[in-house]
Structure formats: C-alpha cells, structure tokens
Amino acid sequence: MSPNGITALSWAARAGNEGLVRLLLERKADFNAEVKSYFHGRTTALHVAAVSGHWMVVVQLLLEHEADIDMKSSRGKTALHMAAMNEHGAVVRLLLENIANVDSKDKYGLTPLFSAVENSHEAVVQLLFENGANVDSQKPLLTAFKRYPEFQPRLTGQATNNSVYFQVQILFFKS
C-alpha cells in the first residue's frame, strides 16, 4: 500500500489493466482492502473498477474472485451506486446480474436509483427499474427536483406510483 493508502490492485483496476489485475489476484492481493479515495472516502478495488466504468473485465475478475459485491465505502456507497452515478450501464447490468442489492442505501439513505436520477442518467434509471428498484422507498427522490429545477414532475394519464412509465415521466420531463 502506498503512503496515500492506495493498493497496487486498486491502481491496476483504475487503469483497466486486466493482466496486472489477474496477476495480483493470483498472488492473493486483498481485493476487499480499503483504499483512500478523495471523492468517495474509503473504497475497494471493486468500487474503483465500477466508478471507472470502461473495464467490465476488471469488475468481472473481481467478482470471479468473490469480492463482496455489496461492500460499502466509508460513505456507504456500493459499486452499484458508483456505476449508476457515472452512467456506466454495462457495469450496472453486470453488477445486477451478479445479484447486487438494487435498493442498497448509502449513509444518507440514498439508493443507486437516486444516484442515477441526480446525475440525469435516464438509461441507467430504466435499467434499475427493470431490475426491481423501488421508487416508493426513495424518499430523497424529491430532493433531486429541488436541486435540479429543470426537471419538473408531471403526471400523465392514470399512472400509479408502481408504474415504470410514470416514474420515467416524472424524472425526465424537462420544463
């Protein structure tokens, strides 16, 4: 580990270096070791790979080695939160296929759905809905409307709170 609290595995994961990640994992690198991140607090190599988004192979290698898919950063964020907030749909899909908790809450009570909504990532929001994200448990969702007034909630037709169509329309109709 470097003096800054960064492991060789987290550096390789961030760089997307599949060969180096494989070599480090074969040599029993601790894939759940916490590393320092300026933006995300203490994270793991899986978080680093998910936030970078371009290296699904690295994420897959970490999952194949049984990294804790729902491990939380010091701010309570999972790899799914980080992939969702950065619009990495392929990584979101991979994590969900490997049974990541779609409704995991960070230390502020926010889910990956909120992370995607807050950053206006419509395709990721749709993917989360398709995989069972629960909008009814997302009380902080209204905070996004307060923080981003360009997104005005509008109801259409006979939709209910459980309707995916209703949810997407509320989140992405611009005024």
Distance between CA atoms of residues 49 and 52, nearest Å: 5
Distance between CA atoms of residues 128 and 144, nearest Å: 17
10-residue mean pLDDT profile of the chain (175 residues): values are 71 86 89 66 83 76 84 91 92 92 90 87 90 72 53 42 41 43
Write out pLDDT tens, residues 101-147: 999 998 888 899 988 888 888 899 999 999 998 876 655 455 555 55
The reply to whether the predicted model has a pTM over 0.85 is: no
Map out the domains of the chain with their CATH numbers: 8-133 (1.25.40.20)
Helices 45-52 and 56-64 sit at what angle, rounded to 10 degrees? Answer: 150
